[in-house]
Amino acid sequence: MNAEVGDVADAAKSGLWSQRRMLMLTRFGVLGVCAASICIALFLGLWGGNSVLAQVQDAIGKVATASYTVTHTTGEHQELTWTVKVLGGGLCRVEQPNGIYLIFDVKGKRIMEVDPHESKVRITQNVPVPRNFDVISTLSNVKALAVERQPMLPNREIDGKNATGIIIEENGVQFDVWIDPATHLPLEMRRRGTPNRENASPVAETWSDFHFDEPLDKSLFAFEVPRGFAVDTRQSPAPAKRNTPSYGFGPEGRKTKAPSPTLHDN
C-alpha cells in the first residue's frame, strides 16, 4: 500500500493529507483499494480464452492472503504509500504512513478507521459493495466485461524475473500489469490518468511488492474498537442521482464510470 515530506504527525493534520485520504476512498471506490479481491474480479472477468490470462485466473483463484503497497502521486506532490493486507475475500486492512489504519469488512458492508494519535475511531456502516466485486458476480457478467482485443505490453525485468506485460480495464480505467511467469501472479500493476474535474492534477499509482499466501495475523483484521477510543458511528450516505458519472479517469483523462458509490467526509 515514501511518506509525506516532514514530520508524520504534522502531515496527519494537514489539509493536503485530508484531501489525499478522501481521494483514496472516493477515486478507488469504497472497496477498490483492496486490490487482491479486485484482481480476482478483473482477471476472472477478462479474456478467459487467452492461455496466459487463463493461467492468471487459475492462480489468483487459489489465493487466500495477499499483501502489497500502493504508491500514489498527484501532480507535483510527494508520494504517499499505503500498505495493504487482504485476508480471504472479505477482510482488508489499509495502513497509512501517518499511523492511521482502516479495516474493510466486505461482507459486513462496513469500514473502521482508527486514528491512534487522536484516540478516535470512525465506523461507517452500510457501505455499498460494487456489484462486480466478488468472483461469482463477475463471472455471471463475463461477456459484458470481456474486451474485443488484448493489447500486450513489453516484458519487463522485475526482481530478476522476465515479467509478462498485459493490459486490463475495469470501469474504463486501464491497468498495466506484469505477471510472474512462474507463479502467474502479479508482480506490479500501474495506472495513471487525470480526474474529470476542473484544474485536476494528473494521478499516477503503482501497486507493487506483492506477497501471496503468506501467514497474516488475524487480529490485524479484528473489527474491534481499541479500549478508551472515542467512537463516531455513521451510515454511508446514498450516492446522488445523476444522469452521468461525476468522477473517474482513464487514458487521456476521458470520463469513466465511477467504480462504486463513495464516502463523503462530513
The CATH code of the domain that includes 78 is 2.50.20
Rounded Cα distance, 202 and 170, in Å: 19
pLDDT of residue 37: 43
More confident residue, 221 or 255: 221
Q: Which residue has the higher pLDDT, 232 or 128?
A: 232
* CA Rg value for the chain: 18
User: How far is it, in rounded angstroms, from Cα 139 to Cα 161?
Assistant: 31
- Residue 100 counted as domain residue: yes
| pLDDT value at residue 257 | 34
Span 19-40, average pLDDT: 45
Residue 110 lies in a domain: yes
Nearest Cα residue to 196 out of 142, 144, 256, 119? 256
Q: Which three cell numbers stand for residue 18?
A: 485530508
- Domain membership of residue 242 (yes or no) is no
When pLDDT is cut at 50, 70 and 90, the band that residue 234 belongs to is very high
Given a cut of 60, is residue 190 above it in pLDDT?
A: yes
Is 25 contained in some domain?
Answer: yes
Could you give the number of structural domains in the chain?
1
Are 226 and 114 a contacting pair, CB within 8 Å?
Answer: yes
pLDDT tens string 210-226: 998 999 999 999 999 99
Task: Locate 148 and state its grid cell.
Answer: 474485443
The per-residue pLDDT for 194 is 65
Q: Residue 236: is its pLDDT beyond 50?
A: yes
Give, in degrees to the nearest 5, the angle at Cα 165 between 34 and 174. Answer: 50
Does residue 25 carry a pLDDT above 50? no
The SS3 of residue 112 is strand
Least confident of 17-26, 64-73, 202-211, 248-257: 248-257
Burial 27-48 (b: 16+ CB within 10 A, else e): bbbbbbbbbbbbbbbbbbbbbe
Strands in 88-184 per DSSP E:
91-95, 101-105, 110-115, 120-125, 152-158, 161-170, 173-179
CA atoms of 59 and 72, how far apart (whole Å): 27
Nine-digit cell at 223? 473489527
Other C-beta atoms within 10 Å of 117: how many? 12
pTM, entire model: 0.69
Q: Which domain holds residue 113?
A: 8-139+215-237
Residue 262 lies in a domain: no
pLDDT exceeds 90 at position 263:
no
Higher pLDDT, 150 or 164: 164
Q: Which of 10-14, 154-158, 195-199 is the least confident region?
A: 10-14
Mean pLDDT of 174-180: 82
In a domain, 60, yes or no: yes
Which set of grid coordinates corresponds to residue 194? 487525470
> Is residue 144 assigned to a domain?
no
3-state secondary structure of 146: coil
Average pLDDT over residues 137-163: 62
| pLDDT tier for residue 172 given thresholds of 50, 70 and 90 | low
Q: What mean pLDDT is reported for the chain? A: 68
Give pairs for 190-196: CB < 8 Å, separation 24+: 193/249, 193/250, 193/251, 193/252, 193/253, 194/249, 194/253, 195/27, 195/247, 195/248, 195/249, 195/253, 196/246, 196/247, 196/248, 196/249, 196/253, 196/254, 196/255, 196/256
Q: What percent of the chain has pLDDT over 70?
A: 54
Classify the C-alpha dihedral 53-70-89-175 as positive or negative. negative
In a domain, residue 163? The reply is no
